[in-house]
């Protein structure tokens, strides 16, 4: 890890160079909602000016650039007497600019699941390895609660991280690739003054968090509150629409589909993002549904995030971005659900 500083003017030159040479994804304003607030999404960009690096948070996460909603895992060809299988997971190098700390931490969690497990996913791995990730800090929104989960700063899983210290960015360089790229622009060693500004910035951002979620002892609270009326209360509101899982940066559940092409000469095996909130997630052959009630389905999403994964993976799977809460029309969000559970016990 090496620290440098770069002026914002040089930074623009640096990023423009990346955009000119690579497929690049960055935050863009795509809409204005009914309250006049901008809506941002990660989209492919062709120039620096198209991005809004001061964006608050994107509506969906960057997850789906690594785990596409629908992905062909293999293709079968049986047009001749025999059959052939093709598996393709090569991807072109690309860059994603302006990723927030919580989102990078979310990718680190996905790495555990999809690379660290017994059966690493070559598809995910290829996308992760071929993505040059430029992270960036930001002022939290009123409902962000990543700080409660210790996910408001990030220490690995990116190539370059930029902290805004006024007219300059304070850079953390985490890969030799980033170091090499930076050779083409003017960067300097941080002065004493830059270091002070960096610490002030971190402290200021941390002090800005308004939403606190009580994580202490949550795993045992969840064990005890398995039959709590809290689940029914929120379950009755739940639309089982899966929006929460679709926008969540860590939900990784999927289904596998096998589809025969219309000509009957080829077929494909595809991975499709799914969610435990959807009605048939726990339906098995013969039609039995292990989670027939809305409250069951909602409850298990919380159990996987804050209990099951926390026990097996040493940390909750949630990074506190509150995308699920913002996307949920029914107003279901981790802060209210967890804080109510904590009050129950």
Partner 1 sequence: MEYLGIEPKKARIGVFDFTCCEGCELQLANKEDSLVDFLALVEVVNFREVSSDRGQDYDIALIEGSISREDEVERLKQIREKAKILVTLGTCACFGGVNSIKNRFDIDDVVSEVYGKNKVETLPVRKVSDIVKVDLAIPGCPVSKSEVERIVVNLVTGAAVNLPKYPVCVECKQKGNTCVVDLGEICLGPVTRAGCDAACPTGKTGCLGCRGAAEDANFDSLREILREKGHSDEAIDERLRFYNAFSEELKNEG
| Binding residues vs ligand SF4 (CB under 6 A) | 238-245, 248-253, 275-277, 298, 301, 304-305, 318-324, 327-328, 330, 332, 334
Q: How far is the CB of 202 from ligand SF4 (least distance, A)?
A: 22
Phi, psi angle pair for 164, to nearest 5°: -80, 110
Pairing of strands 94-99, 23-32: parallel
Nearer to ligand SF4, 202 or 326 (CB): 326
Out of 33, 142, 183, 314, which residue is the one contacting partner 1 (CB under 8 A)?
Answer: 33
Q: Which does 28 bind (CB under 5 to 8 A by kind): partner 1, ligand SF4, none?
A: none
Class of residue 81 by CB neighbours under 10 A (exposed 0-12, middle 13-18, buried 19+): exposed
> Please, how many CA atoms are within 13 Å of residue 150, restricted to the half-sphere of its CB?
6
Residue 7 vs residues 172, 205, 216, 296: alpha-carbon distances, Å: 14, 21, 41, 52
Residue 63 to residue 66: CA distance in whole angstroms: 5
Whether 72 and 270 have beta carbons less than 8 Å apart is answered as yes
Whether 103 and 321 have beta carbons less than 8 Å apart is answered as yes
- Residue 43 has a CB neighbour count (10 Å cut-off) of 14
Q: How far is the CB of 236 from partner 1 (least distance, A)?
A: 7
Tell me: does residue 84 bind partner 1 (CB under 8 A): no
SS3 content of the chain, % helix, strand, coil (to 5): 35, 20, 40
Nearer to ligand SF4, 45 or 144 (CB): 144
Q: How far is the CB of 97 from ligand SF4 (least distance, A)?
A: 21
Nearer to partner 1, 87 or 260 (CB): 260
Pairing of strands 84-86, 168-173: unpaired
Out of 2, 69, 196, 345, which residue is the one contacting partner 1 (CB under 8 A)?
Answer: 69
Out of 8, 236, 312, 345, which residue is the one contacting partner 1 (CB under 8 A)?
Answer: 236
Q: Which does 323 bind (CB under 5 to 8 A by kind): ligand SF4, partner 1, none?
A: ligand SF4
> What is the Cα 124 distance to its own chain's centre?
13
Out of 237, 268, 269, 335, which residue is the one contacting partner 1 (CB under 8 A)?
Answer: 237
Q: Which does 63 bind (CB under 5 to 8 A by kind): partner 1, ligand SF4, none?
A: none
Tell me: does residue 262 bind partner 1 (CB under 8 A): yes
Q: Which residues bind partner 1 (CB under 8 A)?
A: 30-31, 33-34, 39, 41, 43, 59-60, 64, 69-70, 78, 81, 236-243, 246-247, 259-265, 273, 275, 278-280, 294, 327, 329-331
């Amino acid at each position: 890890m090496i620290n440098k500083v770069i002026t914002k003017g040089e930074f623009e030159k640096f990023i423009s160079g990346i955009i000119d040479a690579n497929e690049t994804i960055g935050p863009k304003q795509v809409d204005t909602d009914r309250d006049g607030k901008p809506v941002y999404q990660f989209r492919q960009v062709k120039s620096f000016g198209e991005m809004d690096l001061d964006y608050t948070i994107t509506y969906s996460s960057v997850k789906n650039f690594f785990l596409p909603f629908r992905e062909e895992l293999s293709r079968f060809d049986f047009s001749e007497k025999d059959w052939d299988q093709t598996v393709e997971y090569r991807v072109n190098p690309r860059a994603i600019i302006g990723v927030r700390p919580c989102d990078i931490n979310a990718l680190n969690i996905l790495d555990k699941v999809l690379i660290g497990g017994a059966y690493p996913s070559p598809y995910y791995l290829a996308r992760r390895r071929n993505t040059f990730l430029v992270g960036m800090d930001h002022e939290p929104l009123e409902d962000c609660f990543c700080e409660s989960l210790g996910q408001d700063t990030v220490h690995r899983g990116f190539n370059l991280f930029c902290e805004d210290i006024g007219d300059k960015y304070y850079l953390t360089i985490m890969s030799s690739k980033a170091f090499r790229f930076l050779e083409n622009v003017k960067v300097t060693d941080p002065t004493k003054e830059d270091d002070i500004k960096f610490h002030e910035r971190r402290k200021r951002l941390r002090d800005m968090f308004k939403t606190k979620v009580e994580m202490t002892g949550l795993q045992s609270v969840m064990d005890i509150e398995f039959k709590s009326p809290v689940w029914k209360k929120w379950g009755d509101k739940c639309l089982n629409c899966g929006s929460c899982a679709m926008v969540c940066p860590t939900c990784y559940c999927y289904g596998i589909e096998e589809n025969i092409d219309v000509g009957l000469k080829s077929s494909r095996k595809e991975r499709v993002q799914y969610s435990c909130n959807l009605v048939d997630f726990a339906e098995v052959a013969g039609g039995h549904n292990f989670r027939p009630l809305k409250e069951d389905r909602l409850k298990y999403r919380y159990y996987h995030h804050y209990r099951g994964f926390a026990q097996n993976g040493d940390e909750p799977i949630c990074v506190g971005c509150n995308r699920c809460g913002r996307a949920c029309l029914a107003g279901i969000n981790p802060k209210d659900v967890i804080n109510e559970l904590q009050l129950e016990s």
